Chains A and B, each alone.
Chain A
Amino acid sequence: MSESNGSTRRAKFSRRSFGKQAVAAAVTAGASRSAGAAETTPETQEIDARMANILRLYGDRLSDDQRKLLRRVLTENERMLARVRTFSLENADPPASVLKLFPAAERPQPARPAARRK
């Protein structure tokens, strides 16, 4: 998919507004959960699942205080993930798994080794 096509589609869909709405929803869900409400959302379900997995793996190492702290960490992680997950991306947008400092067209090439003297 070309960049220009992607840009057009992005323009129709505001990252900022959608992101804010989604984050607000996620945070509200987390807050409700922590207040003891019975409401279940995909976000709280994910937090629950991740907490359960931690306890399955490491439960015997963790005190009650550490479990509480971990739940708060998972909730904060979920808030951050919500902002990332709701950011509008096109299929071909690549990851910076290895950070490139320059746009592809300007990416420097490795220096060529000096020619050997014969």
Chain B
Amino acid sequence: MLTDDILFLPVRELGSHLRKRAFSPVELTESYLERSQRIGPKFNAYVTITRDLALQQAHLAEREIAAGHHRGPLHGIPYAVKDLVAVQGYPTTWGAQPYAQQTFDFNATVIERLNAAGAILIGKAAMIELAGGLGYQNGAASLTGPCKNPWNTDYWTCGSSSGSGAIVSAGLAPWAIGSDTRGSIVCPAAWCGISGMRPSFGRVSRYGAMAIAWTMDKLGPMARTADDCGLVLSVIAGYDPKDHDSLFENLSFHYPAPEPGPRKPLRIGRLTNVWNKVDPELQSAVDAGLHTLQQKGAHVEDVELPDGPYEEVAELTILMEAASSFQDLIHSGKCAGLADRLGQVNGYASEQFSASDYLQTQRVRTILQRQVDKLFDSYDVLATAGQSSAAQLLVRPPRSTPPDEQRPREQMENRAPDGVSSLCGLPALTVPCGFSSKNLPFGLQFIARAGNDHNVIAAGRLYQSLTEWHRKHPPSL
């Protein structure tokens, strides 16, 4: 088996080693499989390990690379995918008991693209049930139990891409696919000390992935570095006529982007009004990170988001659209089979919204989108903390918690930047930027104008060229 030092390498370095035949795709895959089976259960990280498929794909990659046929940056590189993405021949549970036996007879578009690129699927990652589509109160809301943070198993990974975060953080795979409707990539990436990217809305096809809210759902990469996120995105992005909202071909994402001219200093707007309260340690880490970028020539200045009901519009949009996407579950009463007390009944309330409520919400959304877009006339990226704090303790299961102590949307109320950027379809990327006094990771988040995915990757790459936080991994692993 390969050593841990190798298994924590970024995709780009693993690919380089594969091409030099330092080790083979089969060796690499077997090492990640062994590690996933040995350590994965400690974190409740996987729903399914796709061992047979992984070894079949690894042997194929090995033969091709030996013959000098290289398919690209992900050829022979293992990965995991959040269990809301359809993979033919394996269960796709959506992280929820009512769908525990669900299978699809086709692959999602992202899986087809990754198959064509020679990537190796080693497992399906645990997740919050329905990716939180009907609401949830804590990390226990999952078919596979609470996902535990590899930095400290008393703490949560955040959700809903919980397993994807834990898998990359613990070195069970070098990267994973997550999904993000409102913060479900950015939050677990920040809390697990990895790099995670939510692409622009429409950048990555969602065909074959579970829908929560059609106008807000995105798939994206979670990896060790911003550069790795760019590599993965270059493979999974692209127009897909099977996804109604897929971006047209003339807006394709290419990585690395060709330089249009002389490189200009990065213009960064430091958001000052997006969190109700930020952990002072975290704010210091974010400010230190921005200072590092400033010393290397970036222009950094404070900026405020315009006033507006971003969180309300984002939350209402998700509730309203989820009431439709999960209509069968709600009407049949099978929502009672969900683990979370809120998820069991929330759909009944969401069904009561009117068509007028929905349209009013979407009309306000258009105006909010325009006023946020104007900020990017002055800045290449906006920067803030990945979350308002480091990872939080895993709470007790809902049934053992007195009802009066439960606040239905507590987990979501502190996600202001996620609400804004998800609502407006903006790309965002978080990178590790330090640690709390409890040795839990902090994240620094960059947000860019819709379609300018390169800007968040460029900011993350620049930061990671100047720091070493992304090379840290949980000490016990």
Contacts and interface: CB of A to CB of B under 8 A. Distances in A.
B349 A97 contact: no
A96 B307 contact: no
Contacts of A5: none
A77 B344 contact: no
B247 A101 contact: yes
B316 A109 contact: no
B39 interface: no
A69 B346 CA distance: 9
Contacts of B114: none
Interface in A45-92: 50, 53-54, 57-58, 61-62, 65-66, 68-70, 72-74, 76-77, 80-81, 83-85, 87, 89
B342 interface: yes
Most chain-A CB neighbours within 10 Å: which of B249, B309, B344, B353? B309
A89 B201 contact: no
B348 A54 contact: yes
A101 to B, nearest CB: 4
Q: Is the interface of B mostly helix, strand, loop or mixed?
A: helix
B348 A97 contact: no
A83 B359 contact: no
B349 A87 contact: no
Contact of B215 (A81, A98, A111): A98
Interface in B290-328: 307-309, 312-313, 315-316, 319
A110 interface: yes
Contacts of B406: 69
Nearest to A14: B307
Interface stretch (B59-67, B104-112, B360-368, B460-468): B360-368
Contact of B349 (A15, A54, A108, A110): A54
B425 A101 contact: yes
A76 B215 contact: no
Interface string A93-118: 11111110111000011110000000
B422 to A, nearest CB: 10
Contact of A102 (B244, B245, B450): B450
B425 A73 contact: no
B309 A72 contact: no
B71 interface: no
A73 B342 contact: yes
B345 A70 contact: yes
A68 B408 CA distance: 12
B341 interface: yes
Interface pairs A-B: 6 shortest CB-CB: A95-B362, A50-B352, A101-B450, A80-B312, A83-B309, A96-B365
Interface of A: 15-16, 19, 50, 53-54, 57-58, 61-62, 65-66, 68-70, 72-74, 76-77, 80-81, 83-85, 87, 89, 93-99, 101-103, 108-111
11 contacts: A66-B345, A69-B403, A69-B406, A73-B342, A77-B349, A84-B357, A84-B364, A99-B216, A99-B365, A108-B251, A109-B248
Given A89-B360, A99-B369, 19 more contacts: A19-B309, A58-B333, A69-B408, A70-B348, A73-B349, A77-B353, A80-B309, A81-B357, A84-B309, A84-B312, A84-B313, A84-B316, A84-B361, A96-B366, A98-B245, A99-B215, A99-B216, A101-B451, A109-B248
